[in-house]
Amino acid sequence: MPVLTVDLAIVGAGPTGLFAAYYAGFRGLTTAVLDALPEAGGQITAMYPEKQILDVAGFPSVKGRDLVGNLLRQAAPFKPQYLLGRQASKLEHHDGVPVLELADGERIEAQAVLITGGLGSFAPRPLPAAEEFHGAGIVYFVPELAAHAGQDVVIVGGGDSAFDWAIALHGIARSTTIVHRRDKFRAHQATVNQVKELGVPVLVNAQVTAVHGTEAVDGVTVDVKDDGIRELPADAIVAALGFTADLGPLGEWGLELDRRTIAVDSTMATNLPRVYAAGDIAAYPGKVKLIATGFGEAATAVNNAAVAIDPDAHLFPGHSSEHP
């Protein structure tokens, strides 16, 4: 199988990994960016590309899809190699240098590895009432709002994603209804208030007990406590029930783990030589999981990797504004 040789292999193409690709290029390092997902952007692309993100410095509000696009454009001048839809399955060290093996057998010989895999591999929690339904119309994410234009949409869940999608689909879908099994929500209260102000129906203490339709969803049965059975029209069901995360093959690499995260020191180094981690997957005391935090960790990891690769290099290369 072919062997790809780069200075830095970045495992994870979410925001932290994409910024690391830019910063490594800024430092003159060649990079390869791997991700098991078929598109760059990680969880943002897969789960909430249309969501407005409010806590990225310099952006009062930025749509997830636009943030990912900007990060790709920022890294583009340095020509990172993207290996998307490809899973890194094994990590070995040859003479102290990391070697990654992909699930398809291809190998990457890198002078250093940076793991930016977010929460690792993740899968949506299924909607129990849909287990016997084999038609179309049940989704777990909303990558394209326009796909639901003019539809009756039922959203199942009580977290931020459920309420964010209700807001985003309001005025696009013909109708939007939230169904939640409790009368308390995990979503931020301000978001809940906004949904209620828009007049979106929210059925609490309720469960979808049946999905109707043949080739596609055309309705659901909802059992509402103290209000009985209700039949709702539905062209689409968004099952926003959260997801389960798994480190996958990363858990077998010999990394020191802290539950489902990777322990790092102040240089973002792991217990393995020339292997670093940044973003949500990295753990240390006092960690705050924000996209903005991941950006800073990526720069710290890349700068320390650059010195590990070339001991004569400076840890801090200067500010980008000082370079042509």
What average pLDDT score do residues 89-115 get? 94
pLDDT digits (tens, 9 = 90+) for 160-171: 889 988 998 999
Q: Which of 2-16, 108-122, 230-244 has the lowest mean pLDDT?
A: 108-122
Task: Report the alpha-carbon distance of residue 14 to residue 123 in Å, rounded.
Answer: 16
Q: CATH topology for 126-239?
A: FAD/NAD(P)-binding domain (3.50.50)
* Domain ranges, ordered by start, for the chain: 3-122+243-322, 126-239
Adjacency order of strands within the sheet including 228-233: 206-213, 217-224, 228-233
pLDDT digits (tens, 9 = 90+) for 18-27: 999 999 999 9
Q: Over 80: is that where the pLDDT of 74 sits?
A: yes
Task: Report the alpha-carbon distance of residue 248 to residue 260 in Å, rounded.
Answer: 10
pLDDT digits (tens, 9 = 90+) for 180-220: 999 999 988 998 999 999 999 999 999 999 999 989 999 99
> Do 271 and 252 form a contact (C-beta atoms < 8 A)?
no
Give me the pLDDT at residue 112, please: 98
Is the dihedral angle over the CA atoms 271, 276, 278, 281 positive or is it negative? negative
Q: Over 90: is that where the pLDDT of 282 sits?
A: yes
Q: What are the Cα distances from residue 284, in Å, to 250, 257, 290?
A: 18, 11, 14
Q: Over 70: is that where the pLDDT of 318 sits?
A: yes
Q: Over 90: is that where the pLDDT of 85 sits?
A: no
Q: Over 70: is that where the pLDDT of 3 sits?
A: yes
Helices 189-198 and 160-169, axial angle in degrees (round to 10): 30
Amino acid type, 50 = E
As annotated, the binding site for FAD includes 16, 35, 43, 48, 88, 122, 280, 321
Q: Over 80: is that where the pLDDT of 119 sits?
A: no
Task: Report the alpha-carbon distance of residue 205 to residue 284 in Å, rounded.
Answer: 39
Q: What is the 3-state secondary structure (H, E, C) of the chain?
A: CCEEEEEEEEECCCHHHHHHHHHHHHCCCCEEEEECCCCCCHHHHHHCCCCEECCCCCCCCEEHHHHHHHHHHHHHHHCCEEEECCCEEEEEEECCEEEEEECCCCEEEEEEEEECCCCCEEEECCCHHHCCCCCECEECCCCCHHHHCCCEEEEECCCHHHHHHHHHHECCECEEEEECCCCCCCCCHHHHHHHHHHCCCEECCEEEEEEEECCEEEEEEEEECCCEEEEEECCEEEECCCEEEECHHHHHCCCCEECCEEECCCCCECCCCCEEECHHHEECCCCCCCHHHHHHHHHHHHHHHHHHHCCCCCCCCCCHHHCC
Count of alpha carbons within 13 angstroms of residue 224, beta-carbon side = 15
C-alpha dihedral over 278, 283, 285, 288, to 10 degrees?
60
Is domain 3-122+243-322 annotated with CATH 1.20.1730.10? no
pLDDT bin (cut points 50, 70, 90) of residue 1 is low
Give me the pLDDT at residue 34, please: 95
Q: Over 80: is that where the pLDDT of 324 sits?
A: no
Structure tokens that stand for 267 in this block = 């240089």
> Do 90 and 249 form a contact (C-beta atoms < 8 A)?
yes
Give me the pLDDT at residue 122, please: 64
Q: Over 80: is that where the pLDDT of 5 sits?
A: yes
What average pLDDT score do residues 298-309 get? 97
Give me the pLDDT at residue 178, please: 97
Q: Over 90: is that where the pLDDT of 7 sits?
A: yes
What average pLDDT score do residues 60-79 get? 95
As annotated, the binding site includes 16, 35, 43, 48, 88, 122, 280, 321
Q: Over 80: is that where the pLDDT of 143 sits?
A: no
Q: Over 90: is that where the pLDDT of 154 sits?
A: yes
Task: Report the alpha-carbon distance of residue 42 to residue 90 in Å, rounded.
Answer: 20
Q: Which residues on adjacent β-strands are paired with residue 222?
A: 208, 230
Task: Provide the mean pLDDT of the chain.
Answer: 92
Express as a percent the part of the chain with pLDDT over 90. 70
Q: Over 70: is that where the pLDDT of 121 sits?
A: no
Express as a percent the part of the chain with pLDDT over 70. 97
pLDDT digits (tens, 9 = 90+) for 211-265: 999 899 999 999 999 899 999 999 999 998 877 767 788 889 999 998 889 999 9
